[in-house]
Structure 1
Amino acid sequence: MNRDIIQPRTLRGFADLLPSVGLYRRTMLRVIEDTFTSYGFDPIQTPAIEYLEILKGKGGEESDKQMFEFEDRGGRRVGLRYDLTVPLARFVAEHQSSLTFPFRAYNIGYVWRGDRPQRGRFREFLQCDADIIGDSGVSADAEIVSIAESVLSRIDVGPFVVRINNRHVLNGLLADLHLDDRIIPVLRALDKIEKIGEEGVTAELREVGVPDAAVERVLALIACRGETNEDTIAAVSQLIPPQGEAATGLAEVRQTLELAGGRGSIRFDPSIVRGLDYYTGMVYEIQLLDAPEVGSVGGGGRYDNLTGLYQRNSLSGVGGTIGISRIIAAIEGTDRFPEVSRERPLIVVTSGAAPTEDARLAALIRGMGEFDVDLYPAQAKHSVQMKYADVRRARFVVTRDPGDAVSIKDMSSGDRISCRLDDLADTLQKLS
């Protein structure tokens, strides 16, 4: 019967995950979860879809534009989450009576944004968030930054920098310039500095009514980058009012750097503002120095008013994300992308005896808890099965022989050993 063949293809901005990448991602996720857990964070999960009113208007105009929203079968307006922070605020408000505060949680899941696809920028991507909700201050800010630095160091992605800032610094300067009513559009414009350049930002600032003298002062502030953090702090202090919100923000920057341990990869960068509207204090972004074109591979900051949108008493919060999808895109195809093998040796059990006997043999080896076992699922020539085992990089090939005998081929040495079924566990342990 003739039929049309459907062309296999993925939507633009979406990607498949091949086994080689999947193994590496699994290794990364374990490091990330181990790091989050070592800082005392517990796992939670929130749905991929939320009521539209939960999501819309929380991150800003750009987030609203990029949101995938639709009407479900029940006639409800819903949306795919565009980050994990807004759903967390809803989660805390809904389950507050069951939580212990300060609440330390991590959440790993996919998010969706209708962004323009390019290298490292997808419409579906995996994020790993850690957040502290409840009474907390600069020490919590520093801890979130330290977690990001620890994760990136442990997964060995090459040189990186964690660039931190504090929105109070710029907010205070804008207040001094009598631009309190234009803080959000100014921040949105400044967040695009690396995409559209200084001229593009200047044009946007003028469009929202920022005078040229104020534009010059704002651009001078975000351009401050000294050789050291102390140099940058000193330069910024010359451009902001000596007292008030800006000075408070700069003091918080200094304290955050001190509490984070003075690591060389953590730098004060006044150009970091983050595009989401809900940030209120410390903000940061992570950049891989060997792949600056992919943009930030993680970031976050303080959001002290977000939970107040869903309950009368607002709880302060600070958190950050590690962007697994962007990190993989940045290093895939480079020398830094490792050839990851399984954590436990793989054994291929070839199909040679009755199917029930092969299945029992595979179950027996799995029961040892020391090996992964791949049971070849069909009758085929032994040479075909051996080639399969070689491609799969199996450590051993085990075949059931007549009677209670078993043969083991060590794929690394090529040696073949026979033993009784009762002695299989001891034999494999000695060989491995």
Structure 2
Amino acid sequence: AIGIDAFTISINNRAILTGLLESLGLADKTTPVLRSLDKLGKIGRERTANEMVESAGVTAEQSDAVLRLAECDGDAESILASLPEITGGNETAAAGIERLTQIYRGALASGVSPERLKIDVSIARGLDYYTGVIFETTLDELPGIGSVCSGGRYDNLAGLYTKQHLPGIGASLGLDRLLAALESLGRLSGVSKPCAVFVPFFDKGHRDDYLKLASQLRDAGIGTEVYPEPKKLGQQLKYADAQGFAVAIIAGGNEWEAGTVQVKTLATKESQDVAYSHDSPQALIEAIRAATS
């Protein structure tokens, strides 16, 4: 719907990894092992193996067995068929394999395209509260941007807050990454600036006056942004031009003392002095409406 048609949802089941670690005698080192494994795609096999040995205290043989599982590749059915042997027949892993199989086949039966769905047993999702299915979504055109939608099942997380057994599945969307991807792919259309008026903050002693002025304009239905810190006026006007504001309201010490402000139309660079005080903002409001109509 947002213009990205080529994406892949990779799924795994945390129980498969957990079961393998149980069979390797690493059940008490699950969290550091999984956090290391989660970096496999970023830092490669050798560095992941080294980190696993150093941070989790596993042996080289144990890290090799974990990576052998993570590197299991091929089509979905061949991966599923190979997992029981790789995990050594562990019961926890067997339950995870069965559930992963059911999710994959059920998704296809529900109409999900096999091109969209991939079984990837290297996915670890380093957070230790995941207990079942885990998934990550990547953009086929921009795989380097990372996951844009990830999550999984957690059976026991709610137990931190209630005695009820409340399993759930959660996911989060990477909105910043999606926006960055859309921009990179040239699929973001131009949008108008939501605020019409920009108020430069360049006289440090009049901060509250700028804020009061902006509040009065907002009360009149005029979208207004105040620059968040005192800087040189030229820098702030350059920012206003780049952001597409229609009007800048310029007021320094002399203007505040004289009871006027400068209304500057940014597109034409034309300015006019307008009477203004906190007790009498109407002339400024009318001038802004005329300048932005």
Pick the TM interval, shorter chain: 0.5 to 0.7
Q: How does 1:23-422 map to 2 (within 5 A)?
A: 154-207=1-54, 208-226=56-74, 228-261=75-108, 262-263=112-113, 264-335=115-186, 337-339=187-189
Alpha-carbon offset, residue 339 of structure 1: 2.2
Over 3 Å counting, the alpha-carbon distance change for 1:380 and 1:284 in structure 2 is: closer
What do the CA deviations read for 1:318-361 (whole angstroms, capped 9, x no partner)? 121221111111231323x142679xxxxxxxxxxxxxxxxxxx
- Pairs aligned (count): 197
What do the CA deviations read for 1:40-83 (whole angstroms, capped 9, x no partner)? xxxxxxxxxxxxxxxxxxxxxxxxxxxxxxxxxxxxxxxxxxxx
Distance 1:289 1:176 in 2: 35
1:271 partner letter: S
CA contact (8 A) 1:163 1:286 kept: yes
Alpha-carbon offset, residue 380 of structure 1: 11
1:176 partner letter: S
Over 3 Å counting, the alpha-carbon distance change for 1:251 and 1:340 in structure 2 is: farther
- Note the aligned Cα RMSD (angstroms): 2.7
Over 3 Å counting, the alpha-carbon distance change for 1:290 and 1:380 in structure 2 is: closer
What do the CA deviations read for 1:233-290 (whole angstroms, capped 9, x no partner)? 1232331133501011011111111222352211110011112121111100111121
TM-score (norm 2): 0.61
Larger Rg: 2
Distance 2:81 2:264 in 1: 73
TM-score (norm 1): 0.42
Over 3 Å counting, the alpha-carbon distance change for 1:171 and 1:333 in structure 2 is: closer
Counterpart residue number, 1:53: none
CA contact (8 A) 1:161 1:286 kept: yes
Over 3 Å counting, the alpha-carbon distance change for 1:190 and 1:328 in structure 2 is: same
Distance 1:217 1:272 in 2: 15
Alpha-carbon offset, residue 291 of structure 1: 1.2
Distance 1:308 1:266 in 2: 31
Distance 1:303 1:240 in 2: 22
Distance 2:131 2:100 in 1: 13
The runs of at least 4 aligned residues of structure 1 exceeding 3 Å deviation read none
What do the CA deviations read for 1:182-216 (whole angstroms, capped 9, x no partner)? 11111111011122221221112212221222211
Distance 2:27 2:264 in 1: 75
Distance 2:130 2:103 in 1: 16
Query: Percent identity, aligned pairs only?
Result: 39
What do the CA deviations read for 1:7-37 (whole angstroms, capped 9, x no partner)? xxxxxxxxxxxxxxxxxxxxxxxxxxxxxxx
Q: What stretches of structure 2 of length at least 5 have no aligned partner?
A: 193-246, 248-262, 269-293
Task: Name the one with the larger helix percent.
Answer: 2
